[in-house]
Structure 1
């Protein structure tokens, strides 16, 4: 991450205070640039301007498939239909490693930018609950997996400071976030397989 910030430092230096070149003092300050988190914590907390500029529209993807609810074991001699009740929450992740649901200045700027550019809100988390039927054959176990629809947004924050911050009036900070796609149904899949001998002993003994 520091490498990406250093690249932003070099670019920011070109527009710092309208100067054509850095002074030796500024060049020395660049030897230890602030982290992305340190910069973003200054968003609306010491900046004249803090704006998020998306690189393009959100990119859709599917989250990782994972089991939801309990497994259903059929210890009878007949086909059994089991109803698995489950509730599952999908969260978001980002390149800073903090939740955008928190009250950070950059979090609010990010959400407003997404709503302005794409006419929908950003969800930091989404919870889905359901009851899913599974037909389980004798001596088998069944379970349900879920894949949530996700969206990823990349871009950069443009930050203007009234006084030089680590030697610069203007900083460009790269940022990426992935979260649940609003109002998008997830994919639920039913699975079955033969029980192991250990599972038979544990659940059918």
Structure 2
């Protein structure tokens, strides 16, 4: 059955039904099958077994950079060193945009699946904070940006039901997720630029 599933997946088919086996795609299927969320919500919550099969190791990458903390404005005639205090929280996302909050039963199942499959810690949310110095020239503004370190995981959930679920005993659901790398501060950079006339009037008036 595994070889069949691999062949079907490689062929790029979103939904197949044969001998009680179904490989689903996001959203409701054409024949009225379950949505991805309905399937995931049944994982260890109505199944005999729900096993995650990873498609490869976690892939680390750098997330989008964004400003953290408040900007510092230098209205003096001298170079100023300003300390920007900031805190930034990075959350997870997944291929279906479903919430993996504490209220959603799949949250803990997913975390355990990832850590068991990869022997690798998974965090749904990670907060970093520090005080970063920025040297700001006269008439300029300074700010801090952070680009978090992220990890992507890919795989398929195999779910076996004791009774037919939407007319099938076995379902497969592809699942991708992206979350913060535990314990990583990310890339922290300092930036400066001339103040606009509006910023000068607002902060130096």
SS in 2 for 1:41: helix
Within a 5 Å distance, the mapping from 1:1-205 to structure 2 comes to 7=13, 9-10=15-16, 13-16=17-20, 31-102=31-102, 104-205=104-205
Secondary structure of 1:115's partner? helix
Distance in 1 separating the partners of 2:13 and 2:44 = 23
Q: Distance in 2 between matches of 1:100 and 1:57?
A: 21
1:188 positional shift:
0.5
Conserved 8 A contact 2:52-2:117? no
Partner Cα distance (2:101, 2:141) in 1: 38
Shift, 1:101, TM fit: 4.2
Contact 2:51 2:157 in 1 (8 A): yes
Q: CA deviation at 1:63?
A: 0.9
- The answer to whether the 8 A contact 2:63-2:148 is kept is yes
Which secondary structure does the structure 1 equivalent of 2:100 belong to?
coil
Tell me the matched-pair count.
Answer: 188
Q: Offset at 1:45?
A: 1.6
Contact 1:30 1:167 survives alignment (8 Å): no
RMSD of aligned Cα (Å): 2.0
Contact 1:51 1:109 in 2 (8 A): no
Tell me the alpha carbon deviations over residues 56-103 of structure 1, each in whole angstroms, 9 at most, x when there is no partner: 101111111000000000000000000000011001111232333425
TM-score, reference length from structure 1: 0.85
TM, length-normalised to structure 2: 0.85
Aligned to 1:20: none
Secondary structure of 1:56's counterpart equals: coil
| Counterparts of 1:202 and 1:115, CA distance in 2 | 50
Which aligned segments of 4 or more residues in structure 1 are displaced greater than 3 angstroms? 6-9, 103-106
| Structure 1 unmatched ranges of 5 or more | 18-28
Do the aligned residues in 1 keep the contact of 2:37 with 2:98 (CA within 8 Å)? no
Shift, 1:105, TM fit = 4.2
Whole-Å Cα distance in 2 between the matches of residues 141 and 79 of structure 1? 11
Q: Which is richer in helix?
A: 1
Q: Which segments of 5 or more consecutive residues in structure 2 lack a partner in the other structure?
A: 1-8, 22-28
Q: What is the CA-CA distance between 1:8 and the residue it aligns to?
A: 5.3
